[in-house]
Homo-oligomer: A and B are copies of this chain.
Amino acid sequence: MTESVQTGSNVSIALLHYPVYDKNRQVVATAVTNLDLHDIARSAKTFGLFRYYVVTPVPEQRALAERIGRHWLEGWGSTYNPKRKAALELMRVVPGLDDVLHDLEDVYGRPAKIVMTGAQGRTGNISCADLVGLLRDFDQPYLLVFGTGWGLTEEAFARADLVLEPIKGPGDYNHLSVRSAAAIILDRLLGR
């Protein structure tokens, strides 16, 4: 298999709706957003990822995400827009981060390295360029974790094997949507 076929095949992405902060730094579970499902699935498909995990402990929210997925995978939407079907086929809806890790270990036979992302710089951040080098070990699965709301909690960050540098532009403003941040990070890591 050529490298270009394998690129991204050891990388998955998880969007956590819990535990994340709200505006007042309270720990909350955020609501599933329709365009988070579509946009991140399409980015994941574009950059050759293995799976896209939508993570929420709230059963009703999982049911909503599943219903949106089924609409494009099985229903009228699957024939109306096959490109969305191809993207949403990567999506798995699970209650927690442990479920993601168990799933990946089942597939790859070894634990995934957890790469947390966020808008704040942290000591020991890894750069996208350095992570690109690590991703070339195709036997090692990697999970890129993104938070909704005002970002992943400290408790979530405590589980990281690696923390990725924040995306910055020329100025101080770095309040990208999670959809935009995920797209940029996937491009930096896996775009050619």
Q: How far is the CA of A48 from the CA of B147 in the complex (A)?
A: 24
Pick the contact of A39 from B171, B180, B191 — CB < 8 Å? B180
B residues in contact with A26, CB < 8 Å: none
A171 lies within 8 A of B48 (CB): yes
A179 lies within 8 A of B176 (CB): no
Q: How far is the CA of A184 from the CA of B174 in the complex (A)?
A: 14
B173 lies within 8 A of A46 (CB): yes
B170 lies within 8 A of A43 (CB): no
Q: How far is the CA of A176 from the CA of B176 in the complex (A)?
A: 17
Q: How far is the CA of A73 from the CA of B175 in the complex (A)?
A: 16
B residues in contact with A4, CB < 8 Å: 170
B175 lies within 8 A of A45 (CB): yes
Given A170-B7, A187-B188, A177–B179 Cβ distance below 8 Å? yes
B residues in contact with A179, CB < 8 Å: 35, 39, 177, 179-180, 183
Of A4, A171, A184, A191, chain B has the most CB atoms within 10 Å of the CB of A184
B residues in contact with A186, CB < 8 Å: 169
Of A7, A39, A169, A181, chain B has the most CB atoms within 10 Å of the CB of A169
Known contacts A23-B81, A48-B170; 6 additional CB pairs below 8 A are A43-B176, A168-B191, A169-B186, A169-B191, A179-B183, A180-B183
